Amino acid sequence: MNREAYEAVIGLEVHTHLLTRSKLFCGCSTTFGAEPNANVCPICMGMPGVLPVFNRRVAELAIRTGLAAHCTIAPYSIFDRKSYFYPDLPKGYQISQYETPICKGGYIDLPANGDSEPRRIRLTRIHIEEDAGKNIHGESASLVDFNRSGVPLIEIVSEPDLRSAEDAGAYLRQLRAILRYVDASDGKMEEGSFRCDCNVSVRKRGAKEYGVRTEIKNLNSFRFVEDAIEYEIGRQIEIVESGGKVPQETLLWDSARKETRPMRSKEYANDYRYFPEPDLPPLVIPPAMVEQVRASMPELPADRRARYVREGLTEYEAGVLTADREVADYFEGVLPGLKNRKSAANWVMTEVLRVAHDSGKALGDAVPPASEVGALLRMIEEQKISLNAAKTAFAAMVKSGKGAESTIAERGLAQVSDERAIAAACDQVLAAEPAKVAEYRAGRDKLFGFFVGAVMKAMGGKANPKVINETLRKKLAG
Amino acid sequence: MPSELHKLTIAEASAKLRKREVSALELTRDCLERIAASEPKLNAFITVCEKEAVEQARQADARLAAGDAPALCGIPLGIKDIYATKGVRTTCASRILENFVPPFDATVIERLRAEGAVFVGKTNMDEFAMGSSTENSAFGPTLNPHDTERVAGGSSGGSAAAVAAHECLGALGTDTGGSIREPASFCGVVGLKPTYSRVSRYGVVAYASSLDQVGPFAKSVRDAAIILRTLAGKDPRDSTCSARAVPDYERALAGDAKGLRIGVPKEFFVEGMQPEVEKAVRAALKSYESIGASTVEISLPHTGYAIAAYYLVATAEASANLARYDGIRFGLRASAEDNIALNEITRAEGFGAEVKRRIMLGTFALSAGYYDAYYLKGQKVRTLIRNDFERAFEKCDLIVTPVAPTTAFKLGEKMNDPLTMYLSDIFTISVNLAGLPGMSIPCGYDSNHLPIGMQLIAPPFAEETILRAGDAFERTGAFKSR
Amino acid sequence: MAETKITLEQVRHVALLARLRLSNDEEESLRSDMDEMLAYVDKLNELDTKDVAPTTQVGEAGMPMREDEVTNQPAADAMLANAPSRDRNYFKVPKIIE
């Protein structure tokens, strides 16, 4: 297969739950993991006679997302009914937006990464719609839970600007970061609150027309997205190279067999018969509301990144710290009272993130509170502890959940900087090794390290190395 | 001596109840007896709520005794079986909901309960409100109290007949293309369809969402005003419901027809109408002139296109509104091996022929390739019809027309050809497309003693004009409906 | 002879979209009814609506919004009370094949 001769063209449609307390059209809770059919009411169950009532917060969060992605916010948009039959769709139609989405256009910038250039991925639109319930498949029957029915979603549609599986992964990570930054979504793919459908086609490099597009649905991890796209590109190229035509299909990713396969059900070969939702008047967004949302928005990742660089970090450091809002917030929680921003950044990037990653838990659950790490770093700056002692203390704090001061005290990790005590220890060591002292004074500079080590040992490892150094130099100089 | 309490109007009964001349329990029991005697002939009720009604009447008596007496307290009403009534089955006259018991009340039901009204039962209707004769009910047709070989009209035939037969003092219906006004006309009672969005639709099983409206049947215009006053007003659970203040509709009746400009649309007096119907309406117009109103000929040029537009728009909305009946969460369920079959067979067994017809037509009108030619076209013609009325109301305050081309037709007469049945909606349908208020009020009888109704149409939210004009006509005594 | 407005094939397709299982007789009778209705609604083509905006709602403009608050309490039994087929607190349906 001559892969290089072909170009992949990929567009992604991401559906994400918005962080609201209640559902889009009714007052049921959106909490994940409730008992089946606990968070349902006649409205989200589609009982006869019910009517939808719009949740204001959904508009606010959709607008926030649109602003963060540089979209145009539509001052006027309507809802439409999208009709199809499926057991988890109670009304037999989904209330969505068809011709008039709340946000149009926009883009997401993918930062430079290693050898790849920064890229701008254009968006087509963002619109609001309600989610369906969930089906659980048993041996001989399926079970339907409507807790998720009516939860608000936004669908974010990209232009087909992505060119590889890596692109797709980078785009999804950036999009998720943005959503988490503006508190529109928690982006938890495992909980189903961030789902991705991929449109994939291939064409000969340089060709103007698009090839036949397949759609891979319901991918619920970044890994699956990348694997599925990678596989599908290969599959399509093989077909085209051998003179065949790629059938236009809707596919699923079989992660066990590592291949895409067509969806069996007829449900998706559908005529959705969109028409304007008669039960909802138009959604009017006055400019004042957009400005209000803009003013209340948290700082965006790109802005935060730029600020960190202005404040003295490198692009790389700023990039790592702002990749996830939680990490950036944590970093800023560590900073107060510290003089050395770089070492704080370094500590978070190495010690903190390592522990968090290894634990597999969320940052908040895996590591001590930012204020405690800040206290620890302050002690280093004030030379109350050595760097090594701090690392030991940190590991202990992760396990015990105790604070910095108490950990240092309990384990006696405080550094001794008392010059007299150190001077006394130096005298002791030098007096015990007259031969070596003579050799050093004769020119064997390497022995300095030996003396430092001996003094440190004599002080039980707790002396301030800087003071040891200074004191020894003075004394050895005679 | 047999009691005649069931023959009272709401206004009369309310006065007697407040003076404690009669108790709510007596009144309700009387209506229940009347129901027991009449139902074998009429079939106006799908479910008679004897126990619940008696309990409601007792509670009403307690309130009346304490001096807390809203106008509808203790008043027995019939409720079209399209309104969700908590704990009481709500069938929409369909097999598919035969045993559906809603866990909630419609907003208007809540409002009536809060006033202490008594619900004697759920009345018969055309299945899912689709029909003009109540012959499309899965529970048998409702017969016209004036002649039991004839239809009561539809789709709110049960409510109309129940009031006409004094089985209750008032009733709720719904009107999407004429379903309150036409049976009111056929049964000789007052039937009011308010402005679209005047009354909450929450809990009213949807047929066509942009056309459906809640309204009362009553024995007098005053009674209709009393009921409307309780029903109307903003409801946070219905996003299309108007927030406009609700006037005291009963107070609006203190007035007359002097200076009222009545528009008479030439397109509404057509060939094929029963001559006696035209005669009665024209006589009514003369009565109006004698009490100080003036008439002016107007034109509603797109009248002839209303039925076509309606049967595209209404059926399209209905096809989506009825998609929820899939055998999964409530209602009938057929046995089937897979989900497609489950839906298909459940709906085949649960829906009657007229409902299937409209679902098919509506689905087609929205389908790929046909949307523009059918659904969209229908909505555009709707704009033209709305504009017709807007222009007409520059010349007049009220429009008066017949309600139906004929009086009540015989059972089975129009069941052979759906289009023939649809054409009988010709005078009422454009009012729904334009969202205007319209009322049917009795204005005569034909030679078979079948009632003839006239329709009063007003601009949006001008129910007061309609009620005042209707009441003024009643007071002329030109026609006594009781 | 007037042109046919709808074929049996189309009726079958619409019935699938609408999830209605029709007998052969019903298919033919619906085809004939729809044919008649579609011929009747053809009269709308007498009207030039090129520059006419469609009316999708006749109420007053502007969508009311509600505050983002949880106002419903769990009530699984009440919501499942009408379930034709139930398995604990789930609605049961034939196995869904994807």
DSSP H or E run through C78: helix C76-80
Quick count: other Cβ atoms within 10 Å of Cβ B182? 33
pLDDT score recorded for residue A114? 66
The mean pLDDT value for B341-365 works out to 98
Share of chain B above pLDDT 70, in %: 99
CB contact under 8 A, C21 and B347: yes
Share of chain A above pLDDT 70, in %: 98
Q: Which of B1, B453, B470, B371 is nearest to B183 (CA)?
A: B453
Strands B170-175 and B76-80: parallel
pLDDT score recorded for residue A266? 54
CB contact under 8 A, A59 and C65: yes
Which among C34, C37, C51 is the top mutation candidate for probing chain B, defined by the most B β-carbons within 10 Å of its own β-carbon? C37
Contact A163, A41 (CB under 8 A): no
pLDDT score recorded for residue A265? 62
Of A42, A92, A275, the CB nearest to B326: A92
Residues 446-475 of B with CB under 8 A from C: none
CB contact under 8 A, A273 and B371: yes
Which among C20, C66, C80 is the top mutation candidate for probing chain A, defined by the most A β-carbons within 10 Å of its own β-carbon? C66
Residues of chain A positioned with their CB less than 8 A from the CB of C97: 264-265
Residues 362-391 of B with CB under 8 A from A: 363, 366-368, 371, 375
Confirm or reject contact between C84 and chain A (CB < 8 A): no
Strands B213-218 and B261-265: unpaired
pLDDT score recorded for residue B170? 98
Residues 34-73 of C with CB under 8 A from A: 56-57, 59-72
The full DSSP string for A201-262 is EEEETT--S----EEEEEE-SHHHHHHHHHHHHHHHHHHHHTT------EEEEETTTTEEEE
Contact B78, B163 (CB under 8 A): yes
| CA dist., res. C87 & res. A459, Å (int) | 71
Q: Token pair 């009982």 is at which residue?
A: A47
10 Å CB burial of residue A26 (0-12, 13-18, 19+) is buried
Query: Would you kindly state where each structural domain of chain B is located, as residue ranges?
Result: 5-253
Sign of CA dihedral B72, A43, B315, B267: positive
Instruction: Answer yes or no: is pLDDT of A364 > 60.
Output: yes
How far B205 CA sits from the closest chain A CA (Å)? 4
Q: Is the peptide bond before B155 cis (omega within 30 degrees of 0)?
A: yes
The mean pLDDT value for A5-22 works out to 96
pLDDT score recorded for residue C2? 61
Which whole-number Å values give the CA distances from A200 to A133, A162, A166, A237, C67, in the listed order?
27, 10, 14, 11, 40
Q: Which of C87, A372, A181 is nearest to B328 (CA)?
A: C87
DSSP H or E run through A316: helix A315-322
The mean pLDDT value for B189-204 works out to 98
Q: Token pair 């027809």 is at which residue?
A: B257
Which among C43, C44, C69, C73 is the top mutation candidate for probing chain B, defined by the most B β-carbons within 10 Å of its own β-carbon? C44
Confirm or reject contact between A128 and chain C (CB < 8 A): no
pLDDT score recorded for residue A255? 87
Quick count: other Cβ atoms within 10 Å of Cβ B3? 14
Q: Which of A104, A108, A109, A111 is nearest to A155 (CA)?
A: A104
pLDDT tens-digit readout, A260-272: 998 876 554 579 9
Dihedral of the CA atoms A64, A69, A75, A79 (nearest 10)? Answer: -80
Contact A47, A189 (CB under 8 A): no
DSSP H or E run through A389: helix A387-400
Task: Name the closest residue on chain B to residue C82, using Cα atoms.
Answer: B330
Sign of CA dihedral A381, A385, A389, A392: negative
pLDDT score recorded for residue B475? 93
Query: What is the average pLDDT value for chain A, to the nearest integer?
Result: 91
pLDDT score recorded for residue A478? 66
Instruction: Answer yes or no: is pLDDT of B3 > 80.
Output: no
pLDDT band at A319, cuts 50/70/90? confident
Contact C66, A54 (CB under 8 A): yes
- Give the CATH class of C1-48: mainly alpha
- Amino acid identity for residue A379 in this structure: M
Residues of chain C positioned with their CB less than 8 A from the CB of A38: 74, 76, 89
The mean pLDDT value for A350-366 works out to 88
Identify each DSSP E strand in B212-361 by its residue range.
213-218, 261-265, 294-298
Instruction: Answer yes or no: is pLDDT of A363 > 70.
Output: yes
- Amino acid identity for residue B372 in this structure: D
pLDDT tens-digit readout, B395-408: 999 999 999 999 99
Contact B208, B240 (CB under 8 A): no
pLDDT tens-digit readout, A42-83: 999 999 999 999 999 999 999 999 999 999 999 999 999 999
Residues of chain C positioned with their CB less than 8 A from the CB of A283: 63
Q: Which of B335, A117, A142, B196 is nearest to C90 (CA)?
A: A142
What length is written for chain B?
482
pLDDT score recorded for residue A115? 65
pLDDT score recorded for residue A315? 87
- Amino acid identity for residue A78 in this structure: I
**Domain B5-253 = CATH 3.30.930.10:** no
Angle, nearest 10°, between helix axes A301-310 and A325-334? 30
The mean pLDDT value for C69-98 works out to 94
Q: Token pair 């098919």 is at which residue?
A: B360
Task: Determine which of A163-167, A446-450, B126-130, B221-225 has the lowest per-residue pLDDT on average.
Answer: A446-450
The mean pLDDT value for A251-260 works out to 91
What length is written for chain A?
478
Residues 180-209 of B with CB under 8 A from C: 196-197
Which whole-number Å values give the CA distances from A345 to A320, A334, A352, B309, B400, in the listed order?
10, 9, 10, 68, 81
Strands A80-83 and A119-130: unpaired
pLDDT score recorded for residue A113? 67
Q: Which domains does chain A have, with CATH numbers?
A: 3-290 (no CATH), 299-410 (no CATH), 419-477 (1.10.10.410)
The mean pLDDT value for A353-379 works out to 89
Task: Determine which of A2-6, A115-119, B417-421 has the lowest per-residue pLDDT on average.
Answer: A115-119
Tell me the catalytic residues of B. Answer: 80, 155, 179
pLDDT score recorded for residue A267? 53
Residues 6 or more apart from A231 whose CB is under 8 A from it? A253, A258, A259, A260
**Pairs of CB atoms within 8 A across A/B:** 104
Beta-bridge mates of residue A251: A216, A262
C-alpha radius of gyration, chain A, whole number: 30
Confirm or reject contact between A82 and chain B (CB < 8 A): no
Instruction: Answer yes or no: is pLDDT of A456 > 70.
Output: yes
As given in the structure block, the two tokens for residue A161 are: 């600007």
Beta-bridge mates of residue A135: A144
DSSP H or E run through A200: strand A194-204
Contact A181, A165 (CB under 8 A): no
The mean pLDDT value for B135-152 works out to 98
Q: Which of A63, A164, A167, A193 is nearest to A108 (CA)?
A: A167
DSSP H or E run through B113: helix B107-115
Task: Determine which of B7-21, B204-218, B254-268, C46-60 has the lowest per-residue pLDDT on average.
Answer: C46-60
Residues of chain A positioned with their CB less than 8 A from the CB of C62: 281-282, 284
| CA dist., res. A364 & res. A380, Å (int) | 23
Residues of chain B positioned with their CB less than 8 A from the CB of A279: 209, 239-240
pLDDT tens-digit readout, A84-136: 999 999 999 999 999 999 999 999 988 776 666 788 999 999 999 999 999 99
Instruction: Answer yes or no: is pLDDT of B468 > 70.
Output: yes
| CA dist., res. C8 & res. C33, Å (int) | 12
| CA dist., res. B337 & res. B242, Å (int) | 46
pLDDT score recorded for residue B2? 58
pLDDT tens-digit readout, B282-301: 999 999 999 999 999 999 99
Residues of chain A positioned with their CB less than 8 A from the CB of C72: 26-29, 39, 41
Residues 82-121 of A with CB under 8 A from C: 83, 85, 87
| CA dist., res. C43 & res. C35, Å (int) | 14
10 Å CB burial of residue B254 (0-12, 13-18, 19+) is exposed
As given in the structure block, the two tokens for residue B21 are: 């001349």
As given in the structure block, the two tokens for residue B94 are: 């369909």
